[in-house]
Amino acid sequence: MLRSIIRFGFNVGVVMGCTYLFPFVHVQDVRSAIVFVAVISLLNIFVKPFLTLITIPLTLFTFGFFLLIINGIMVRIADYFIDGFEIEAFWHAFLFGLILSLSNMLFEKIFPPKRA
């Protein structure tokens, strides 16, 4: 449970960091970043598995590259639902999703899950 809270805070920090690094990411305040991370987490739990399932042939054909496109789609959907968060274009959302995924991979390497 504590690991999930730390990961959530880490993701909020990544979103706020991307706001300062990239001119195409606009986050109104920390509250908007928190809501974005919550919405993207829910989308990744409920919508992303369905999208991944129906795009298996395309994902296999592109050797997995289409999963990055799905990440960009998830970011655009979250962007649509949140007023204080804006990304200008799909390819910017793609890059933002890529950075968010890479930062989560880094988090997993630094804080590996405990084995039961």
Domain residue ranges of the chain, discontinuous segments joined by +: 2-108
Query: What is the pTM assigned to this prediction?
Result: 0.91
CA 3/CA 110 separation, integer angstroms: 12
Q: How many residues does the chain have?
A: 116
- Single out the residue of 86, 112, 67, 114 nearest to residue 24, CA to CA: 86
CA 20/CA 2 separation, integer angstroms: 27
pLDDT at 108 over 80: yes
CA 77/CA 80 separation, integer angstroms: 5
pLDDT band, residue 105 (cuts 50/70/90): very high
What is the predicted pLDDT for the residue at 114? 82
pLDDT band, residue 115 (cuts 50/70/90): confident
